[in-house]
Amino acid sequence: MSYYGHASASDPPNPSFHGAAPSSSGGNNAATAQFDGAKIFVGGLSWQTTEETLRYHFEQYGEVVSVEVMRDRATGDPRGFAFVVFKSDETVDLILKNKPHEINHKVVDVKRAQARRV
C-alpha cells in the first residue's frame, strides 16, 4: 500500500514505507495500523524545510515517531511534501485543530494521511 501514489505498481512492496514499523509477518499488524492512524501529510513545504525543521515544529504538540520529507528519486531534491508519524492519534487531532501551521515562513497544508489503494 502506498500513500498519495508515491510508489508505482512496479515497485516491490515495502512494509517500512514512510517510516511505518517493520512487520515480521509482512502484513498489517497492530503496530503498523497504530502508526498509520497517527500520521499526517504536510504539503506546500518550502524547499529549505528539513526533517529536523518539521520535527521541531510538530514536537510541541506531542511525541514524533518519524519524519520523512519526500524526495525525487532521480535528483534527491525535495518534492515539497512530507509525512510525520506521531506516537498518539490524539496528537494528530490537536494539530488539525490548531491550523494554520507556518513552517519556514510558509503556511503549509496539514491533513491526516490517507492510505491509497493501488
pLDDT in tens, 30-61: 444 444 679 999 999 999 999 999 999 999 99
Mean pLDDT of all residues belonging to the chain: 78
pLDDT in tens, 74-96: 999 999 999 999 999 999 999 99
> What is the structure's pLDDT at 32?
42
Q: Is the pTM of this model over 0.75?
A: no
From residue 63, alpha-carbon distances to 4, 78, 86, 89 in Å are 24, 24, 6, 10
Q: Which residues contact 3 (CB under 8 A, 6 or more apart)?
A: 17, 18, 41, 83, 113, 114, 115, 116
